[in-house]
Chains A and B, each alone.
Chain A
Amino acid sequence: MELDALLLARIQFAFTISFHILFPAFTIGLASWIAVLEGRWLWTKNDLYKRLSSFWTKVFAVSFGMGVVSGIVMSYQFGTNWSRYSDVGGYILGPLIQYEVVTAFFLEATFLGVMLFGRDRVPPWLHFFATCMVALGTLISAFWILSANSFMQTPAGYEIREDGLLYPKSWWDIVFNPSFPYRYFHMVIACFLTTSFVIAGVSAWHLLNNRHEIYARIGLNMSLGLIAVLAPVQIFVGDLTGLNTLEHQPTKLAAIEGHWETHAGAPLILFAIPDQQAEMNHWEISIPKLGSLILTHEWDGVIKGLKEVAPEDRPPVWIVFWSFRIMVGLGMLMLAVAVTGVFLMWRRKHYTTRWYLRILQFCTPIGFAAILFGWVTTEVGRQPWTVYGILRTADSVSPAITGAGVLTSLIIFFLTYCIVFSAGIYYLMRIFERGPEAHVPPPDRSANRPKRPFSAAEEALEGPEDTHGSRTGPGPRPAPAE
């Protein structure tokens, strides 16, 4: 059997980037959360905040490490598997990625060293500054990546010369292309929501087990507050992103909505099984006219259908259709959790309502899921193009690669990520189990050379010490290590 290098390269890209995106999605929000905790500690001098920031810094270190190593793979994969794409789009996409490296990666990586290891070597304000720089770096990084990705969705500011390559005409138009602002804010808000749900979930878990209560209350208050603000804002920004897609990527929007025919007064389709071959939906359940009303704000607004373009220019409809519905469903669930949370906070029952804490614990990974389905919607919806309307995915792949080569590397990446991911989740779970009270920051030392070892054994998360980590009930708390 002939192995399809193009298909395998696409699977490899989807797999590695889906794995990678989980870590930036979490660390973008987490870096800011730690910076806020450090800031509150500096402001209030309350050591609770310092311990809480130490605890989340450990979580950050493990997540960031996995994000860095999986990200390096991405930056080289453009060349190894997608060399035609790198050649055709390189004059525009190369500089954008280069700017990400020099404005964001170095900032993050360098100040991360001070953030993780410098607590007893620099004054607190400088440590706070380093933490802020790491947080800023994550946001700048997202800026350039979303700019490059948005250019591939809605290219602008370029020209194609006789050699068939894309040349930059206006860098302003390239960086701030039509879909960029919407997609950037949509993504950053998604990252903050993801982190907030993890913090809320871990805090709820600690409260349910009557452990680390003071810390869990702070975490629950702050994260629920943020979710209450961001969940509705995200639905609004998501709607704006949809309107932008209608304007610039009508075919993608038609796939999202499941519309084959161009309608005036299009229905809103709630459920359907789209059939690419038959060019129709099976088992469709829809509300008349509502689709046009939502998208065009008019009862009889015209929505273009998939049949406007040739069959070979249509994305795989059912994937886009369903991933979008799952993303929106998760968003609505977040809103419901937020509204319930605000109600319980108002009644001052949010620390003790066990069913609600269970829901929060269950919702810990909800942000990750929403982000993955959101990216599937937008990236599969762009197909069959790599650069929308300009360069086809089939013409982007490296001519020299073989199916066997891509398959080999796919299997190797898959195994590697399985090992690394399992180990990472295992250590993260141990950190969560032991909670903030097990993570006493080292005492301030006046000299640069500490006399007292705080040994790796103290830090170790496995072994006999583990047992008290999983203990439930109020019993005596482990004494702080010093």
Chain B
Amino acid sequence: MQPETGISVDLTLIWAGIVAFAVFMYVFMDGFDLGVGILFPFAPGGERDRDLMMNTVAPIWDANETWLILGGAGLFAAFPLAYSILLPALYMPILLMLIALIFRGVAFEFRFKAHSSKYLWTSSFFIGSFFASFSQGLILGAFIDGFEVTGRDFSGSIWDWFSPFGILCGFAIVTGYALLGATWLIWRTHGALQDWCRSLAPKLLLGVLVFFALVSLITPAWNEVVRARWFTFPNIIYLAPLPVTTLLVSAWMWTAIRGGRDVVPFVLALVIFVLAFAGLAISLWPYVIPPNITIWDAASPPESQIFLLIGLAFLIPTILAYTAFTYWVFRGKLQEGEGYGH
């Protein structure tokens, strides 16, 4: 279905941008603190290092995770049809993600209050972080694969999300978040812990590139629309800079890690995620439920879109401002024993 009036085109596009922004902010921000959880059991200095690692994210993880709710609520508000199709279709991986996020979330509070049972909350934090990330990969894989829809309802089975491709995406996300986590820790810690992250980050980067390459090759091999979009002339010329830039940024990141830079690797890891996200958007555009439902089919009426947009125009910059403020308050390298101040 094509848009009827000029104004609704703009609004729906703006909303697609907002939801995409919220999802990206979530992937990036909760990505690095989930990554810290994924690296948790492997910390070279045992519980002491784990305390440090946890303290680098303890003051901010909650706000980071709120972007997930913003993404979900934004989908519900601006594209309710997509919300009411996606969620039943992704029932099981969403359930897995929620349970994992519960165990991981309470671990922040409980681990510092526990003594003899501390190890339980250490594993709860790791297992929760791992499965929350893995299930997000499963969701991504199912999304790329597309959904069976009849009328206004999901008509597939509760197991449709389960596929080798989804599992591949699961491991890709886990590796990607681990890279974000490792570069974050390079920035926020020092000494043995930082050295360990420095030696780990290049391996994770390599892993991420391999997974990205696999996903980028499998998707067009299976999906005609994606193939046509990327591998026809002249699109191939316009889109070629994307993979090329990814490789250049990766090379730069490699040298930055080796060269002892603190902040640059984290920023470049972020850039790699932006590029991957852009590639995904190009493949799937303009579908919110591939392969049939576009953003215009699923959009709320303009009355709902405008009502929210007026508020968001003020609120999103405000949120970003006070988020930046808290990051600034908790700036600097973590010292041992510092952090859990309540």
A residues lining the B interface (CB < 8 Å): 54, 57-58, 61-62, 65-66, 68-70, 72-73, 75-76, 78-81, 83-84, 86-87, 90-95, 97-103, 105-107, 109-122, 167-169, 171, 398-402, 405, 409, 412-413, 416, 420, 423-424, 427, 430-431, 442, 448-450, 452-457, 459-463
A113 vs B303: C-alpha distance in the bound complex, in angstroms? 36
Decide yes or no: A461 and B114 within 8 Å by CB, A94-B77, A95-B308, A416-B103 being known contacts. Answer: yes
Within 8 A of A (CB), among B180-201: none
> Are B88 and A453 interface neighbours, CB within 8 A?
no
For residue B110, which residues in chain A have a CB less than 8 angstroms away from its CB? 62, 423-424, 427
* Segment at the A interface, from B149-157, B205-213, B241-249: B149-157
> Are B106 and A69 interface neighbours, CB within 8 A?
yes
> Are A99 and B338 interface neighbours, CB within 8 A?
no
Q: Considering residues A73, A109, A452, which has the most beta carbons from chain B within 10 angstroms of its beta carbon?
A: A109
Residue B301 at the A interface, CB < 8 A? yes
Question: Which of B84, B158, B339 sits near A83, CB closer than 8 Å?
Answer: B84
Residue B326 at the A interface, CB < 8 A? yes
> Are A101 and B98 interface neighbours, CB within 8 A?
no
> Are B73 and A167 interface neighbours, CB within 8 A?
no
A73 vs B101: C-alpha distance in the bound complex, in angstroms? 10
A118 vs B118: C-alpha distance in the bound complex, in angstroms? 24
Q: Considering residues A115, A424, A456, which has the most beta carbons from chain B within 10 angstroms of its beta carbon?
A: A456
CB-based nearest A residue for B323: A110
A66 vs B85: C-alpha distance in the bound complex, in angstroms? 29
Decide yes or no: A94 and B117 within 8 Å by CB, A83-B85, A103-B311, A409-B91 being known contacts. Answer: no
Smallest Cβ distance from B168 to chain A, in angstroms? 24
Within 8 A of A (CB), among B283-342: 300-301, 303-304, 307-308, 311-312, 315-316, 319, 322-323, 326, 329-330, 332, 335-342
> Are A171 and B342 interface neighbours, CB within 8 A?
no
B residues lining the A interface (CB < 8 Å): 51, 58-60, 62-63, 65-66, 68-70, 72-74, 76-78, 80-81, 83-92, 94-95, 98-99, 101-103, 105-106, 108-110, 112-118, 152-156, 158, 300-301, 303-304, 307-308, 311-312, 315-316, 319, 322-323, 326, 329-330, 332, 335-342
For residue A459, which residues in chain B have a CB less than 8 angstroms away from its CB? 112-113, 340
Majority secondary structure, A binding face: helix
A115 vs B98: C-alpha distance in the bound complex, in angstroms? 26
Question: Which of A57, A79, A405, A420 sits near B87, CB closer than 8 Å?
Answer: A79
8 closest cross-chain pairs (CB), A and B = A453-B337, A90-B80, A79-B87, A94-B77, A113-B59, A462-B115, A463-B115, A460-B115
> Are A112 and B62 interface neighbours, CB within 8 A?
yes
